[in-house]
A and B are shown apart, each in its own frame.
Chain A
């Protein structure tokens, strides 16, 4: 399923309420956030009024910034420490912090901002994090921006990084971003050590209306961020299936398959056998979702992570090792036990580090894609009609589990949202942050927009807002159930803004299960001709894009499977049964139309 969540965080509260918002982020429940919104709305007004004064403070601070920076940095660190405050103290901190917001923190933030500029001019390595988060689709209203900036940008202006004149679509999306426009910003990413919360107290951002759609550029970035891993995993599955001639013969069938219906059974056996096969698979998925929800509900986090890690390492080691042997057999290269165990051990153990611990983000994404494609390769080794029926029933199950009130996945997501956690499951995070902004007052053209996607996700500012939806907190994670058997997708869009530079961080989370079943369909289509493969490929991507549009419109978690799978199956049969024979007929008879 795909989830899109709105943060209540208003960009408006530039002020120190940002720290407050961080606190809310990690710990809020929905009830607290909604209650806070009302109070924060009042603060918005104050903040808007204070914008001018804050700018003035900024100018003042430029002169005597040396002395003030020390004190400000101290206060800033104190505020950051507040992030770890446990849940029940939130409201208290809110009040105090809100009191401080309009006075002290603004100044502090301005000073820190100046530090940023000096640092950024020194070295591009300093990743400055403007971690304000706001509603996902934010526009600077031209009128307001005109007040703040002195220049009226009728259109959003891309902030340029100091070292490049290209628009800085800063993203930490170094791995998947094929787009050349993102290259310049790759150095900005990362788990930055010195990512302090810099709040620039400057312009007021206004949310778009609730139903307002993102611009084409944002939308296309989100498309690319999700379409790339899907495409890569589908391509891997296609090539692997076509490489292994075994897949045609179905020498070994998945142990989950109860009825072996490959050879021309009677119709009754075909129908009931495939339905029972798919019901078994769906039952396993449902069971694993329920178990995961139970573990998460009772906070057996170690068991949960142990389960996830065990399934991941088994998947990487066993299936990866099997595929490795298959590739070596295909390449006709000798392979000994020592080499094999060394490579597989490194691959799977490194996968544990990359999936569950610190690691460059591109490696995490690469491992997520490889896990899903490995899973898909070995699920796709099923009898044909079982595959179609499994795809269909799993799609229907996906609708149920994501949308219905009693669905385990929906309950899991809601629970994680309440706790402010990120749901513990394997989810592909495609996030794109787009810096859109107007530079302020012509000063310091070197504004660097950095977004650390990771840091962004959890820091959402809930503070004030005129935000469109009163949806709850923050880190909208969605997720989907888990590891191998999981089918879901979560999508969340999270926005982040900095006043100076508005960072849109559109965070889209796609459950690995969706990747798996997309790839299963392609793995089945890979046994046919190339026309069918490309038709299914395009169909899956089209369905994915339609799902993304729905995600943006409805702004909640959406099952990602049904539309894509439906279109994919439709195009598979129409292409393989109608179009391809028709084209062959035309070619054989030399008919040109």
Chain B
């Protein structure tokens, strides 16, 4: 909405978009990095090297954040019971039964 949907993408604009989305992604936003990749995926054969650089590191960053996140989620879900009260303190939803 903030952009004209009519806009045509040229190299400068593509680089601008990729760079901004890449920067936004550093704020713990791997989903935005994934959006960056998904947005440029149909244009993957016409990307300039700059854009490709941003996309590559977006992908890497996405996997890094996702790995950290998944690891934490696994640790939490497995060990919450063992942590006792401290485990309950960081919980929003405490499952019944176990």
Q: Which A residues fall within an 8 A CB radius of B?
A: 26, 80, 83, 123, 125, 187, 189-196, 305, 308, 325, 328-329, 332-340, 342, 345-347, 349-350, 353-360, 363, 422, 424, 426, 454-455, 457-459
CB contacts (< 8 Å) of B2 on chain A: these are: 305, 356-357
Residue B85 CB within 8 A of the other chain:
no
Chain B 11-28 interface residues, beta-carbon cutoff 8 Å to A: 11, 14, 17, 21, 24, 27-28
B 54-83 to A, binary, CB cutoff 8 A, 1 in contact else 0: 000000000000000100110011001000
> Which of A189, A333, A357: most chain B Cβ within 10 A?
A357
Instruction: Report if A454-B24 is in contact (Cβ < 8 Å); known contacts: A125-B42, A355-B1.
Output: no
Residues in A neighbouring B90, C-beta threshold 8 A = 336-338
User: Are A357 and B3 in touch, CB under 8 angstroms?
Assistant: yes
Query: Which residue in A123, A337, A345, A359 is a CB contact (below 8 Å) of B28?
Result: A345
Q: Which 6 A-B pairs have the closest CB atoms?
A: A193-B9, A458-B6, A454-B5, A346-B31, A335-B93, A350-B31
**How far is A187 from B41 in the complex, measured between Cα atoms in Å?**
10
B69 contact set on A, CB distance < 8 A: 339, 342
Q: Which residues of A contact B46 (CB under 8 A)?
A: 125, 193-194
State how many angstroms separate the Cβ of A340 from the closest Cβ of chain B.
Answer: 5
Q: Are B35 and A333 in contact (CB under 8 A)?
A: no
Residue of B nearest to A331 (CB): B95
Q: A194-B8, A336-B91, A422-B1 are in contact. List 17 more A-B contacts (CB 8 A).
A: A190-B42, A191-B8, A193-B8, A193-B9, A193-B10, A194-B46, A328-B93, A333-B93, A336-B80, A338-B72, A338-B76, A349-B29, A356-B2, A363-B38, A424-B1, A426-B1, A457-B5
Q: Which of B2, B4, B29, B30 has the most CB of A within 10 A?
A: B2
Min CB distance, A191 to chain B, in Å? 5
Binding site for A on B (CB under 8 A): 1-11, 14, 17, 21, 24, 27-32, 35, 38-39, 41-46, 69, 72-73, 76-77, 80, 90-97
Output the least CB separation between A313 and chain B (Å): 13
A-B contact pairs, 21 of them (CB 8 A): A26-B6, A123-B45, A125-B46, A190-B43, A193-B9, A334-B76, A334-B77, A336-B76, A336-B91, A336-B92, A337-B91, A340-B92, A350-B31, A353-B24, A356-B1, A357-B2, A357-B17, A363-B35, A422-B1, A455-B5, A457-B5
* Residues of B contacting A308 in the complex (Cβ-Cβ under 8 angstroms): 1
CA A336 to CA B92, docked complex, whole Å? 5
Give Cα distance in the complex from A133 to B43, angstroms: 25
B31 touches A339 (CB 8 A): no
Contact, CB under 8 Å: B30 / A325:
no
CA–CA, A358 and B1, complex, Å? 9
> Which residues from A are CB-within-8-Å of B27?
349
Q: Which of A329, A332, A346, A355 has the most CB of B within 10 A?
A: A346
Minimum CB–CB distance from A193 to chain B (whole Å) comes to 4
Query: A358–B38 Cα gap in the complex (Å)?
Result: 11
Could you tell me if A325 and B6 are in contact, using CB atoms closer than 8 angstroms? no
**Assembled-state Cα–Cα distance A255/B67 (Å):** 40
- Counting chain B CB atoms within 10 Å of each CB, the highest count among A125, A196, A426 belongs to A125
> Chain B nearest CB: distance from A459 CB in Å?
6
Q: In the complex, how many angstroms separate the beta carbon of A508 from the nearest chain B beta carbon?
A: 15
- CA distance in complex: A426, B1 (Å): 8
| Contact A358 to B39, CB < 8 A, known contacts A340-B92, A350-B32 | yes
Which residues of chain A come closer than 8 Å to B38, judged between CB atoms?
A: 359-360, 363
Given contacts A334-B93, A354-B35, A363-B35, contact A125 B1 (CB under 8 A): no
B19 to chain A, nearest CB (A): 12
- A344 to B: closest C-beta gap in Å: 11
Instruction: Give the complex CA separation of A338 and B73 in angstroms.
Output: 9
CA distance A189 to B8 in the complex (A): 13
User: Do A332 and B6 touch across chains, with their CB atoms under 8 A apart?
Assistant: no
Asked if A337 and B1 make an inter-chain contact with CB atoms under 8 angstroms apart, the answer reads no
**Complex interface: chain A residues within 8 A of B94 (CB):** 334
Q: Given the complex, which residues of A lie within 8 Å of B42, measured CB to CB?
A: 125, 187, 189-190, 360
Closest to A196 in B: B8
Residues of B within 8 A of A357 (CB): 2-3, 17
What distance in Å separates the Cβ of A473 from its nearest Cβ neighbour in chain B? 14
Contact assessment for B31 and A325 in the assembled complex, using a CB-CB cutoff below 8 Å: no
Contact call A191/B7, Cβ cutoff below 8 A:
yes
Query: Do B6 and A455 touch across chains, with their CB atoms under 8 A apart?
Result: yes
- Which residues of B are found within 8 Å of A335, using beta-carbon distances? 91-93
Task: Please give, as numbers and ranges, the residues of chain B lying within 8 Å of A358 by CB-CB distance.
Answer: 3, 17, 21, 39
User: B1 touching A455 by the CB < 8 A rule?
Assistant: no
Taking CB atoms, residues of chain B closer than 8 Å to A334 are: 76-77, 80, 91, 93-95
Is the beta-carbon distance between B77 and A333 smaller than 8 angstroms?
Answer: yes
**Min CB distance, B84 to chain A, in Å?**
14
Query: For the complex, what is the distance from the CA of A190 to the CA of B7, rounded to whole Å?
Result: 11
CA of A358 to CA of B5 in the docked complex: distance in angstroms? 9
| A123: chain B residues within 8 A (beta carbon) | 45
B6 and A459: CB pair below 8 A? yes
Known: A187-B42, A345-B28. A458 touches B1 (CB 8 A): no
Give the residues in chain B near A454, CB-CB below 8 Å: 5-6
B72 to chain A, nearest CB (A): 7
Contacts of B73 in A (CB 8 A): 339
A458:B4 contact, CB within 8 angstroms: yes
A329 smallest CB distance to B (angstroms): 5
Write the chain B residue with the least CB distance to A126: B46
Q: Give complex CA distance A421, B3 in Å.
A: 11
Q: Which residue of B lies closest to A458 (CB)?
A: B6
Distance of A457 Cα from B7 Cα, bound (Å): 11
Contact across chains for A329 and B93 when beta carbons are under 8 A apart:
yes
Question: If the complex has contacts A328-B93, A336-B92, are A347 and B31 also in contact, measured as CB distance less than 8 A?
Answer: yes
Query: Is the pair A353, B76 in contact by a Cβ cutoff of 8 Å?
Result: no
